[in-house]
Amino acid sequence: MAKQQSGIDIDLGNRCSQIAYGWAKKTFDFRPQSSGSPVKGLDGAFSNVMDFHGVKIGMSSDGIGTKIELAERTGIYDTLGFDLIAMVADDLAANGLETVNLSNILDVDFLDDRVVDRLMKGLYEAAKFARITVTGGEIAELGNRIGGWGKGMHFNWGATGVGVLPPGNEVIDGSKVKAGDAVVSLKSRGFRSNGFSLLRKIMRENFGENWHLEPYEENCTWGEKLLLPSLIYSPLITDLLKEKLSIHGIAHITGGGIGDNLARVLKVSGFGAHLDNVFDPLDVMLKVQELGSVDDEQAYRLWNMGNGMLLIVDKAQVQSVLEFVKGRGYQAQKAGEIIPQAKIELQSRGMKRKTLVYEVE
Amino acid sequence: MAKQQSGIDIDLGNRCSQIAYGWAKKTFDFRPQSSGSPVKGLDGAFSNVMDFHGVKIGMSSDGIGTKIELAERTGIYDTLGFDLIAMVADDLAANGLETVNLSNILDVDFLDDRVVDRLMKGLYEAAKFARITVTGGEIAELGNRIGGWGKGMHFNWGATGVGVLPPGNEVIDGSKVKAGDAVVSLKSRGFRSNGFSLLRKIMRENFGENWHLEPYEENCTWGEKLLLPSLIYSPLITDLLKEKLSIHGIAHITGGGIGDNLARVLKVSGFGAHLDNVFDPLDVMLKVQELGSVDDEQAYRLWNMGNGMLLIVDKAQVQSVLEFVKGRGYQAQKAGEIIPQAKIELQSRGMKRKTLVYEVE
């Protein structure tokens, strides 16, 4: 299964990530007993959390991939900031960290000040939503090292967030997960910033080069529909943790889908999950699946399929969690429960409903 | 002077930076009285330093621009890590912050695991030199959004560093600079990661498309010479600050050269500088100047011209600083002094020695 339908070689990607992590890990002892040393987890593994004179801080970097092409195609540039902050802050939130600062790097081929203005306005609005300060930024003009769609300014956009562990809290690393815990799903509102290589391929094959102009529904093109910005969960998680509810694990559903991202959380405890009531995919996801004849296995690996974040909570607190989340305007439902076996059984709700099984290892 | 010889529009670049900063600044009050709020300086302006429950932390993002093309041309990939850490950590060092953690984002068109391995090995070695832990990383496959030279894997590489203010120290923001202070220059060992657009243009015009293969000296091509990695000053500055010497201001000489970077430090105090004894440019810089008929004004704006960092120190401590720096294996000399007038007078040492004057404003 080396090559996916999208043309991305998953095995090579994993190998490169392992190479990078291997070299990075050798740096972890460059700061013994001094500020900024990585914190060890219960199992002796390092987390991405560092200790600064007792204050625990994490940092996380990510970009928004080829979703940017949708902005180039539609000329709508002021929503990508939500995708960028979602990718970064929701990864930190999954460890129980409150993202407080963000620094971004915008690589462009050449500058268009009107586009830069729209991008940064969107980042501002997303930062307001997420209660984050944008305290750093860099714009680099890289000429032909940057490409993209059409004639306008092309760019790639990444960011690093810094999150702090609220004093008195512990890092959420999945170590407290136990059989019988409930899994609560938080609904997504569209595609996030992953799986766009296959999305674009399916669109092109079905509608030709200018697929983004194709109507999706009244007053909305396919381009606009696929561009819809990510919902940011980070401020919700921050507030939820203040309620002192027992959140044992959090999975942010990005590339790799529910399978990979939930397995990463579960492998600390060695438990598994039975998920028979996840949210249905959004209509647009089902339509894309149909257009591309994408099976549920792949759809659930590449896309969030309606579930942007999964919370593992003490079963006695499910109702409290659901009510709190709904009170904040997000949609949530109990999606399943933690089981003793080290596997994830997911009742898919894509084109062909079936049971997808992932090993927790 | 909108268009430079390199084809980069400096005014447009500054306008875009102002736009980005304008939006970012509006986010600074999203965290009133809570952790992660930006620290105000003496003049009421915000610094890039945030307060986390009393611990002061800064973050800085940067990339290595088009110097990457030199790695693609020479096939030498394990030195760029030094450039990346230099760009990030030396910016933090200029505020008196000790860089402790780094997170990097590598954008590629397609993956070559051998190249990724060499890049990450170089990052590891640079991190070891700089005593930094690499605690985050992201590799993104972006297909035709990334371009470069030749047939191999193309990439862009950026990073964000987190630095901590050593307890008991103050942020170095130039506010303590006073007339009569000495300016000490730290010698560079080559081009850093800026001004490469013009460098490449000059090379191409003189030696054709395969200019990197042209011999520079025995056993060294022009490609290898221009690729030489940046010297990282950050660990030196950290140790220097432990000596409790009075460092009043630090300028990291990157894009904009001595003029822009020193002026930024001086504008807090309103003083200026008279620099009549900076280091001579390295031979390679003089040769490039000659090949491209680059005047001293532009050379000193685009390149470090032999001076990678300037320290403003109490004049009574110049000898102690020089001795300490030399004891650590770096080269330093007194380059001039702080003057009451708000201007920088620089005796250039390029092809045409002359006095360059920059306003401090």
Distance CA B273, CA B341 (A): 8
Facing residue for B147 by CB, picked from A19, A34, A144:
A144
Residue type, A133: T
Q: Is the pLDDT of residue B3 over 80?
A: no
Q: What percent of chain B has pLDDT over 90?
A: 85
Q: State whether residue A312 is helix, strand or coil.
A: strand
Q: What residues pair up with A59 in beta bridges, in sequence order?
A: A162
Q: How confident is the model at residue B7, as a pLDDT?
A: 61
What are the start and end residues of each CATH 3.90.650.10 domain in chain B?
A: 182-359
The angle subtended at Cα B55 by Cα B52 and Cα B56, nearest 5°, is 85
Look at the domain A182-359 and name its fold.
Phosphoribosyl-aminoimidazole Synthetase; Chain A, domain 2 (3.90.650)
Burial class (CB in 10 A: 0-12, 13-18, 19+), B168: exposed
B interface test, pick of A9, A55, A101 with most B CB neighbours within 10 Å: A101
State the best of A4, A50, A52 to mutate against chain B, taking most chain B CBs within 10 Å.
Answer: A52
Q: So what's the pLDDT on residue B246? A: 87
pTM of the model: 0.94
Report yes or no: B52 and A163 within 8 Å, Cβ to Cβ: no
What rounded mean pLDDT belongs to chain A?
Answer: 93
Residues of chain A with CATH 3.30.1330.10: 47-164
A chain contacts of residue B234, beta-carbon cutoff 8 Å: none
Provide, as residue numbers in chain A, all residues whose Cβ is less than 8 Å from the Cβ of B167: 53
Share of chain A above pLDDT 90, in %: 85
Partners of B180 in the β-ladder = none
Mean pLDDT of A322-350: 98
pLDDT, residue B2, reads 42
Candidate from A106, A117, A133 with C-beta closest to B38: A133
Band of residue A1 on the pLDDT scale cut at 50, 70, 90:
very low
Q: pLDDT per residue over A277-328, tens digit each?
A: 999 999 999 999 999 999 999 999 999 999 999 999 999 999 999 999 999 9
Residue A142, pLDDT score: 96
pLDDT for the residue A49: 85
Second-level CATH architecture of A47-164: 2-Layer Sandwich (3.30)
| Of B173, B172, B170, residue with least CA distance to B43 | B173
Contact between residue B204 and residue B210 where contact means Cβ atoms under 8 Å apart: no
Structure-block tokens of residue A263: 């397995």
Residues forming CATH 3.30.1330.10 domain(s) in chain B: 10-164
Within 10 angstroms of residue A193's Cβ, the number of other Cβ atoms is 24
Residues A143-156: what's their mean pLDDT? 97
Summarised one tens digit per residue, pLDDT across range B246-305 is: 899 999 999 999 999 999 999 999 999 999 999 999 999 999 999 999 999 999 999 999
Q: Name the strand (E) or helix (H) holding A357.
A: strand A355-359
What is the tens place of the pLDDT at every residue in B38-57?
A: 776 545 455 578 888 888 99
A42 confidence band (pLDDT: 50, 70, 90): very low
Between CA A153 and CA A116 the distance in angstroms is: 9
- Residue A7 reports pLDDT greater than 70: no
Q: At A331, is the pLDDT very low, low, confident or very high (cuts 50, 70, 90)?
A: very high
Interface touch B53/A167, C-beta < 8 Å: yes
Residue of chain B whose alpha carbon sits nearest to that of A16: B113
Nearest-by-Cβ selection for B111 from A16, A36, A146: A16
**Taking all residues of chain B, what is their mean pLDDT, rounded to a whole number?**
93
Q: What is the ipTM of this complex?
A: 0.93
Residue A212 has pLDDT above 90, yes or no: yes
Classify the phi-psi angles of B235: left when phi > 0, otherwise alpha if psi is within -120 to 50, otherwise beta. Answer: alpha
Instruction: Report the candidate in A141, A174, A236, A149 with the shortest Cα–Cα distance to residue A45.
Output: A174
- A337 — pLDDT class (breaks 50, 70, 90): very high
Give the pLDDT band (50/70/90) at residue B1.
very low
The CATH number assigned to the domain with range B10-164 reads: 3.30.1330.10
How many of the other CB atoms lie within 10 Å of CB of B342? Answer: 16
